[in-house]
């Protein structure tokens, strides 16, 4: 109903959890949901007590796309003037690792939101697709770019030009999915992955994400120099001394998060 919150947020230990909460609309991503997800992710990003963000949908749908009913009567000028979907770029700038548990439909904007996550857990029953061509449009939240970078031209063209859905097994085979587990275990596995990431030093996890993400933005040589500079800079942290010191002393590190 209209007064139910479009997302739910909680913290579970050092994991910040964002749950899409429009199950009856298959978590269609309307403007309110977009703004809520982005703001919650930014707040978790700035919270030193949060070391990873977990993004959850519902069993039937991670998200069935942008909200078609909300968009259908908009004009070009309205879409352009508001720079529709631009807010999602803020999610891409979140530095804390994001883990997505992708169950059921991940279509259109739902597939694109899943691809904004850093680690993507899915099951055989997950359905990824970019069906926008069937609506007379194209992906608008980065799908043509992120899909092509993660699965290559052959599969991206197939999905974007025909709207064909790929199941979790194919999605894992083509490189869209980090881990494939049984459908009922997707959320638990994703939570464990988020907890694992959050158990490390946040500065090193953030910089590890930054380094991998740089591979999508730059040349190999620039990326390697960038990585090495980040590696060097971590020697300014207490947690580098703690992590390497603990190894040498044969004990478990106790991260200071600094």
- Catalytic center residues: 66, 109, 112, 132
Q: Ramachandran region of residue 140, left (φ > 0), alpha (ψ -120 to 50) or beta?
A: alpha
Residue in the structure block whose two tokens are 């403007």: 31
Residues near 226 by beta carbon (within 8 Å), at least 6 away in sequence: 211, 214, 218
Nearer to ligand CAA, 96 or 103 (CB): 103
Q: How far is the CB of 132 from ligand CAA (least distance, A)?
A: 5
| Encoded tokens for 5 | 């919150």
Pick the piece of the chain touching ligand CAA (CB under 6 A) from 10-18, 21-29, 183-191, 211-219: 21-29
Nearer to ligand CAA, 7 or 198 (CB): 7
Q: How far is the CB of 237 from ligand CAA (least distance, A)?
A: 38
Q: How far is the CB of 46 from ligand CAA (least distance, A)?
A: 26
Give me the half-sphere count of Cα atoms (radius 13 Å) on the Cβ side of residue 155: 20
Interface with ligand CAA (CB under 6 A), residue total 21
Whether residue 110 contacts residue 62, with contact meaning beta carbons closer than 8 Å, is answered with yes
Burial 31-52 (b: 16+ CB within 10 A, else e): bebbebbbebbeebbeeeebbb
Q: How long a stretch of residues is the chain?
A: 258
Nearer to ligand CAA, 67 or 189 (CB): 67
Binding mask 79-118 for ligand CAA (x = CB under 6 A): --------------------------x-xxx--x------
Q: Report 127-146 residues binding ligand CAA (CB under 6 A).
A: 131-132, 135, 139-141, 143
Whether residue 165 contacts residue 132, with contact meaning beta carbons closer than 8 Å, is answered with no
Binding mask 47-86 for ligand CAA (x = CB under 6 A): -----------------xxxxxx-----------------
| Encoded tokens for 138 | 């194209």
Q: Which residues bind ligand CAA (CB under 6 A)?
A: 25-26, 28, 64-69, 105, 107-109, 112, 131-132, 135, 139-141, 143
């Amino acid at each position: 109903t209209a007064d139910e919150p479009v997302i739910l947020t909680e913290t579970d230990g050092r994991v910040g959890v964002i749950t899409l909460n429009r199950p009856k609309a298959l978590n269609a991503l309307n403007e309110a949901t977009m703004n809520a997800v982005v703001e919650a992710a930014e707040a978790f990003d700035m919270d030193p007590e949060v070391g990873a963000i977990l993004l959850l949908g519902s069993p039937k749908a991670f998200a069935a796309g942008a909200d078609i009913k909300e968009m259908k009567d908009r004009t070009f000028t309205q879409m352009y003037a508001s720079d529709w979907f631009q807010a999602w770029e803020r999610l891409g700038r979140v530095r804390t690792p994001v883990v997505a548990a992708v169950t059921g439909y991940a279509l259109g904007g739902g597939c694109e939101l899943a691809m904004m996550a850093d680690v993507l857990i899915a099951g055989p029953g997950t359905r990824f697709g970019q069906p926008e061509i069937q609506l007379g449009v194209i992906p608008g939240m980065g799908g043509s770019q992120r899909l092509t970078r993660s699965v290559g031209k052959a599969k991206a063209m197939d999905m974007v030009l025909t709207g064909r859905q790929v199941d979790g097994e194919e999605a894992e085979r083509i490189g869209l999915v980090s881990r494939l587990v049984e459908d009922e275990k997707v959320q638990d596995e994703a939570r464990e992955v988020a907890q694992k990431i959050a158990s490390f030093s946040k500065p090193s996890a953030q910089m590890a994400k930054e380094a991998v993400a740089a591979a999508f933005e730059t040349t190999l040589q620039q990326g390697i120099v960038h990585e090495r500079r980040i590696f060097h800079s971590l020697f300014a942290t207490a947690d580098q001394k703690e992590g390497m010191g603990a190894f040498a002393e044969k004990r478990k590190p106790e991260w200071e998060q600094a």
